[in-house]
Amino acid sequence: MKKRVVIGLSGGVDSSVAAYLLKEEGYEVLGVTMETWREPGQDCSQLAGDARRVADYLGISHQMVDFRRTFKEAVVDPFMEEYRRGRTPNPCVICNRKVKWEALLSYAQEQGADYLATGHYARIVKLSGGRYSLKTSATEAKDQTYALYGLSQQQLSRTLMPVGEYEKKDIREIAKRVGIPVAEKPDSQEICFIPDDDYVGFLRRNDGGGLTPGDFVTRQGEVLGRHKGIACYTLGQRRGLELPMGRRVFVTGILPEENQVVVGDNEELFCRQVKASRINLMAVDDLGEGLKAIGKIRYNHRGAPCLVRQTGPDELTAVFEEPQRAITPGQAFVFYTQEGCVAGGGTIL
């Protein structure tokens, strides 16, 4: 009897090729397109158009499932709250854990599926001790393990990621060779619920907060000018400050209670220590006396050597060998073993 797999089918080339590969391997494939957000006046049928065409072309079943309430409560509301608190969130991390896996995996099980599959660039590995982890994908530039560090052992054991073993150019070539309708479709670069990439406009439209003007100040408290709202700024930002300083200055801190944005020199942005909460351990189940790892402080960070220790029931501290620039509260800190497996991660405090 064929194993049944539900695949999150977005209508992009990666999930489309993933569906094709699974079918070729002999799985019974059900494509599910998640409706997560709808702008006023938007027709939901437009959202599933490409995914439905791909499913029809591949000869697999397709469903559009409404996850809007779950998405708003789990992703959008916390996204806006983080900006109100002067932090810079990573909604994809939360969406992966709370929606694409918790909600979609639950739905897949209701459909009698054995596995959930996605088009993510990551490789699931089972380590010698029996734990599951994610190994960086064959396409380093497209690797998505950073945003997947929150997955549980149970979720990993029920997940397939068929494109992780391929380079991006190979996925495009497969799509063209097979004739998949979205073979030339460009990759999405924006937050999915903010397609115009204007998150400040999104906060304003949805009463997200953090947009009350206040003071730019130095580290010593000297007032330099007025800002447009703490949600408009992130650590390390230089552009858009509109301060007549006569030299380059950067956002070096955000003080939400005072509604102030601290600016200073680039050198003030460097530090060696990062603290994180809401942690998840993946390749290891205990950090012991400390784990030598490669730590990443943002998605496009190359990673740097560090020592990671657990400092509380749900908190860790990492010390980098060299100072890192703009360690930003709200972003994910993800650390890897020397072999390139996700050891764990958390949300930067």
Q: Residue 252 burial by CB count (10 A; 0-12/13-18/19+): exposed, middle or buried? A: buried
pTM: 0.94
Q: What is the pLDDT of residue 191?
A: 85
92 is catalytic: no
Is 188 marked as binding a ligand? Answer: no
User: 342 and 133 in contact (C-beta within 8 Å)?
Assistant: yes
Q: What is the DSSP string of 22-81?
A: HHHTT-EEEEEEEE----TT--HHHHTHHHHHHHHHHT-EEEEEE-HHHHIIIIIHHHHH
Choosing from 44, 92, 192, 341, the catalytic residue is 192
Other residues' Cβ atoms within 10 Å of the Cβ of residue 183: 17
Helix (H) / strand (E) containing 157? helix 153-157
User: 42 and 83 in contact (C-beta within 8 Å)?
Assistant: no
Is 106 marked as binding a ligand? Answer: no
Is 30 marked as binding a ligand? Answer: no
Is 8 marked as binding a ligand? Answer: yes
Q: Residue 58 burial by CB count (10 A; 0-12/13-18/19+): exposed, middle or buried? A: buried
User: Of 136, 115, 113, which Cα lies nearest the Cα of 124?
Assistant: 136
pLDDT per position as a tens digit, 145-172: 999 999 999 999 999 999 999 999 999 9
Q: What is the pLDDT of residue 39?
A: 74
User: Distance between the two ends of the chain, CA-based, in angstroms?
Assistant: 49
Helix (H) / strand (E) containing 253? strand 250-255
Q: What is the pLDDT of residue 223?
A: 97
Choosing from 44, 92, 95, 306, the catalytic residue is 95
Is 119 marked as binding a ligand? Answer: yes
Tens digit of pLDDT at every position of the chain (349 positions): 889 999 999 999 999 999 999 999 999 999 999 999 987 666 666 668 999 999 999 999 999 999 999 999 999 999 999 999 999 999 999 999 999 999 999 999 999 999 999 999 999 999 999 999 999 998 888 999 999 999 999 999 999 999 999 999 999 999 999 999 999 999 887 788 888 889 999 999 998 789 999 999 999 999 999 999 999 999 999 999 999 988 999 999 999 999 999 999 999 999 999 999 999 999 999 999 999 999 999 999 999 999 999 999 999 999 999 999 999 999 999 999 999 999 999 999 9
User: Of 326, 332, 343, which Cα lies nearest the Cα of 94?
Assistant: 332
Contacts of 277 (CB under 8 A, 6+ apart): 312, 314, 315, 346, 347, 349
Q: Residue 112 burial by CB count (10 A; 0-12/13-18/19+): exposed, middle or buried? A: exposed
Is 303 marked as binding a ligand? Answer: no
271 is catalytic: no
Q: What is the pLDDT of residue 318?
A: 99
User: Of 31, 333, 346, which Cα lies nearest the Cα of 182?
Assistant: 31
Structural domains present in the chain: 4-120+161-178 (3.40.50.620), 212-264 (2.30.30.280), 270-348 (2.40.30.10)
Is 277 marked as binding a ligand? Answer: no
Is 253 marked as binding a ligand? Answer: no
